[in-house]
Amino acid sequence: MNDPCAHCEEMMQPYLDHVLTDEEMDRAEAHLAECVDCRRRYKFEESLRIYVRKAVTEEMPAELRQKLAALRIPLE
Amino acid sequence: MAHAGTAGTVERMDAEPEEAQRLATEARDRVRFEEDALALSDQVYRVARHLASSREDAEELMQETYARAFRSWRSFTPGTNMRAWLLRILTNLNIDRGRRQQRAPQMTPLEANDYFLYDKLAENGDGVSDEEQVVERLSQDDIVSALSAVPHDFRDVLVLVDLGDFSYADAAQILDIPVGTVMSRLHRGRRILKRELAESALEEAT
């Protein structure tokens, strides 16, 4: 591991997806604790995900809800 | 084949209450299934909206999905993930109908690293580097169009995992691809999204 920041970058997506092993998690966190640049970038990535989700979320139109309900098969 | 022969009469009379019972149970299960499926429609739509190419497509796709789900409700196993089951129907329909506007596969290389967008935004930000403020430099329109610019194979995974909160394993099952493929497409899809966002942010800055 010559460049801890490169390793940290590799760990970022799995870290935010909560799929790292405990050991990998400890390593990523140890680096984050001492590297302000990586910490900022992780924070940015996390904010970006939340922001994107908010920006693209569209509620279902009420008419569509009614159309779907009308597709039910009537009881005989 | 139901000939009302005398030979079967006695048996049929015995069978009738059982048959009536069976039908009543089935009707009850079906109504419950329909109610559960409809209760999930908001959540399904939020994902469907971005799997489809437009709002109109999403609405049609939802109706086709629900029509099919109501017809084949017996193939749903109670106790399993109904939202994933519905989305599996929906993604299959989306692929089958050739409704997707296929784009040529993206041949452009990935950006050098995953920090590209942040670095670009922070660079243009007059020294403001608070992460949340940096994000807010992107407009809602930029984000919506950046997402729709991500090619379908990558977008499907991105939308299921990042908007639909499906696990890698669920997304793999819905799309009928290996988990490893989900992970690589997700990684690639997120980078493509960020590249698109970086491009629109740069356009605005100039």
Query: Is A44 an interface residue toward B (CB < 8 Å)?
Result: yes
Residue in B41, B140, B162 nearest the CB of A68: B41
Query: Is B128 an interface residue toward A (CB < 8 Å)?
Result: no
pLDDT, position B1: 44
Partners of B66 on chain A (C-beta within 8 Å) are: 68, 71
Taking 50 as the threshold, does the pLDDT of residue B8 lie above it?
Answer: no
Contact check, Cβ <8 Å, A47/B135? yes
Least Cα separation, residue A6 to chain B (angstroms)? 9
Contact check, Cβ <8 Å, A64/B70? no
The average confidence (pLDDT) of chain B is 84
Query: Is A29 an interface residue toward B (CB < 8 Å)?
Result: no
* DSSP secondary structure letters along chain B: -----GGGHHHHHHHHHHHHHHHHHHHHHHHHHHHHHHHTHHHHHHHHHHHSSSHHHHHHHHHHHHHHHHHTGGGS-TTS-HHHHHHHHHHHHHHHTT-S---PPP-SPPPS-TTHHHHHHHHTSTT---HHHHHTTS-HHHHHHHHHTS-HHHHHHHIIIIIT---HHHHHHHHTS-HHHHHHHHHHHHHHHHHHHHHHHHHHH-
Percent of chain B at pLDDT > 90 equals 54
Query: Is A72 an interface residue toward B (CB < 8 Å)?
Result: yes
Q: Which of A51-55, B24-28, B198-202 has the lowest mean pLDDT?
A: B198-202
Least Cα separation, residue A33 to chain B (angstroms)? 17
Residue where the block lists tokens 């890698």: B168
CATH of B11-96, one of 1.20.990.10, 1.10.1740.10, 2.40.10.10, 3.90.226.10: 1.10.1740.10
Taking 50 as the threshold, does the pLDDT of residue B97 lie above it?
Answer: yes
Give this complex's ipTM. Answer: 0.86
Query: Is A36 an interface residue toward B (CB < 8 Å)?
Result: no
Contact check, Cβ <8 Å, A72/B70? yes
Residue in A44, A53, A61 nearest the CB of B134: A44
pLDDT, position B184: 93
Percent of chain B at pLDDT > 70 equals 79
Query: pLDDT tens digits for B146-155?
Result: 999 999 899 9
Query: pLDDT tens digits for A13-32?
Result: 889 998 899 999 998 899 89
pLDDT band at B5 (very low <50, low <70, confident <90, very high): very low
Residues B127-135 have a mean pLDDT of 68
Contact check, Cβ <8 Å, A59/B42? yes
Residues B23-31 have a mean pLDDT of 91
Query: Is B90 an interface residue toward A (CB < 8 Å)?
Result: no
Q: Does domain B116-205 have CATH number 1.10.8.100?
A: no
Query: Is B27 an interface residue toward A (CB < 8 Å)?
Result: yes
Q: Which of A64-68, B71-75, B127-131, B183-187 has the lowest mean pLDDT?
A: B127-131
Taking 60 as the threshold, does the pLDDT of residue A1 lie above it?
Answer: no
Count the Cβ atoms, other than its own, within 10 Å of residue B191: 19
| Domain at A4-70: CATH code | 1.10.10
pLDDT, position A63: 97
Domain residue spans in chain B?
11-96, 116-205
Query: pLDDT tens digits for B158-190?
Result: 999 999 999 999 999 999 999 999 999 999 999
Taking 60 as the threshold, does the pLDDT of residue B30 lie above it?
Answer: yes
- Per-residue burial over B67-97, b if 16 or more Cβ lie within 10 Å, else e, is bbbbeebeebeeeebbbbbbbbbbbebbeee
Residues B64-78 have a mean pLDDT of 96
Report how far residue B204's alpha carbon sits from residue B126's, in angstroms, rounded to the nearest whole number.
15
Taking 90 as the threshold, does the pLDDT of residue B44 lie above it?
Answer: yes
Q: Is the pTM of this model over 0.90?
A: no
pLDDT band at A74 (very low <50, low <70, confident <90, very high): confident
Residue in B42, B63, B70 nearest the CB of A67: B63
Query: Is B20 an interface residue toward A (CB < 8 Å)?
Result: no
* Residue pair B184/B104 in contact by the 8 Å Cβ criterion: no
Least Cα separation, residue A18 to chain B (angstroms)? 10
